[in-house]
Amino acid sequence: MTEECACTNPTGTKGETLTFTRASAATCTKGNVTSGIDNGDLVSCAADQPRVMRGGDGSGAKGLMVEVARTNVVLRSQEMDNASWGNTGTPPTIRVDHGIAPDGTQTAEAIQFHAVGGGGESGKYQSGLGVVGTGTCSMYLKGAPPAGGGPATSGSIDLATGAAASPCTTCTYTADSWTRCVLSGTVSTYIFLGNESAGACAGGARTEQNVYVWGVQCEAGTYVSAYIPTTNATATRAIETASFTVGPKSTSPSTSLRASWVSPGVQSASGTAESGPVCIQQDATNNIRSRILSQTAPNMRPSCAVVTTGQTATLTYGSNVSMPAGLHQWACSWNQATTTKSLFFNNVSASNATQTAATAFTWDTLKLQGDCPDTFFGATVSRPNGVVSDVCLDTSLTRCTQTQ
């Protein structure tokens, strides 16, 4: 696997070449994506350049980030002094481009949010955002030295996505590294950040906070995606597609398949149906295909499935699974001649798994999650963002089910 955030194509262990497309630049993060972020850890990869990273809390193995399209609707995401941002309560004091940002540029604004009493505010806001309903807002924070002198310290400010400060979360930060604070919920076309002693974040009097703020983002969806910088207009990161040609074409009735996936958010036992880390197709018409996925709502059951014309073979974990954000692994195998089957999820054998009729199929293309069609099995499912690694596809029934 290539170096983290090198923006170069990884190759398979047998020299398989990755085909990768994305019609825009995208942000790659070294290490942890939400805390312990150092100056320069964020790297912009140009259009059609893949991102190799760890994702999640940074503890998983390096893999390929594959994301769906997302739009940041916050204007001037790094320019808190711009007229796109209004003030609430006691206007904060801003030192423009005072500090080094997570991308290594000197673009971090040092903001002094003033002390407030009960019911008071000292904050920045934007209204008229283009996300109504379920959305996710985020920002990068780091302690800044006070304007009057002295060292940077840790602290906290509030992040709210409604004019009535609801929903709201209190974001803690440290002086020695960046933290990405994330709030998912109902976005009422509004974002507030700063000291809030009223509304949903009411906590009584708030002390003065000196903090670097950078990379503010609001996007439609239930979990945060990679940072998308904006200036005077919203900006969109294009969808990514990734695939390996895994020839010569196999016609073996035996197949095993494995993939690891760093989930960007909690997958609940009653969540929305989501396609999983990988899928396989025989040809452009998708006449024969397979995928590993989280099963359809209301039951989230990890499964492997194979579809041929007029026939579907599905191996499904026998119980609902709630998956926390982080690293998960699927491994499965099937044999058309003997209907032998196995399914492992996070190294646990699904002894209670059920399977429809097994089927033989040929395959020549392995696709990673962003390239699996929404209607891959005739029903629309959402495509998750996430890091894919440890992908294995083999005619051996056991090679890919030997979990790593």
pLDDT 10s per residue in the chain (404 long)? 578 999 998 877 777 788 889 999 999 999 889 999 999 999 999 999 999 998 877 777 788 998 888 999 999 999 999 999 999 999 999 999 999 999 999 999 999 999 998 788 999 999 988 876 788 999 999 999 999 999 999 999 999 987 665 788 999 999 999 999 999 887 778 899 999 887 667 667 899 999 999 999 999 988 889 999 999 999 999 988 887 776 555 566 677 777 787 776 655 544 454 555 566 555 555 444 555 555 444 455 666 665 555 555 566 666 666 666 677 787 777 666 666 667 777 777 765 555 555 455 555 566 665 555 555 444 444 555 678 888 887 777 777 876 54
Concatenating the DSSP letter of every residue in 296-336 gives PTT---EEEEEEETTEEEEEE-SS---B-SEEEEEEEEEET
pTM: 0.87
Q: Does domain 242-401 have CATH number 2.40.160.40?
A: no
Four-point Cα dihedral 206, 207, 208, 213, nearest 10 = -60
Q: Which two tokens stand for residue 299?
A: 């039951």
pLDDT attached to residue 113: 98
Concatenating the DSSP letter of every residue in 350-383 gives -TT-EE-------EEEEEEGGGS-TTTTSS--BP
SS3 at position 199: helix
Sign, CA dihedral 54-55-58-60, equals negative
Contact criterion met (CB below 8 Å) for 304 and 343:
yes
pLDDT attached to residue 316: 65
Sign, CA dihedral 346-352-354-358, equals positive
pLDDT attached to residue 351: 55
pLDDT attached to residue 173: 98
For the chain, the domains span 72-237, 242-401
**Long-range contact list for 199-203, CB < 8 A, 24+ apart?**
199/160, 199/164, 199/165, 199/166, 199/168, 200/160, 200/162, 200/164, 200/165, 200/166, 200/167, 200/168, 201/158, 201/160, 201/165, 201/168, 201/169, 201/170, 202/118, 202/165, 203/170
pLDDT attached to residue 307: 55
pLDDT attached to residue 315: 64
Distance CA 166, CA 126 (A): 15
Is residue 143 classed exposed, middle or buried when 0-12, 13-18 and 19+ CB atoms within 10 A define those classes? buried
pLDDT attached to residue 58: 77
pLDDT attached to residue 372: 57
pLDDT attached to residue 338: 62
Contact criterion met (CB below 8 Å) for 74 and 85:
no
Q: Position 267: which residue type?
A: Q
Write the DSSP symbol of residue 401.
G
- Compute how many other C-beta atoms are within 10 angstroms of the C-beta atom of residue 208: 14
pLDDT attached to residue 378: 47
Report the top-level CATH class of 72-237.
mainly beta
SS3 at position 277: strand
Sign, CA dihedral 223-227-233-238, equals negative
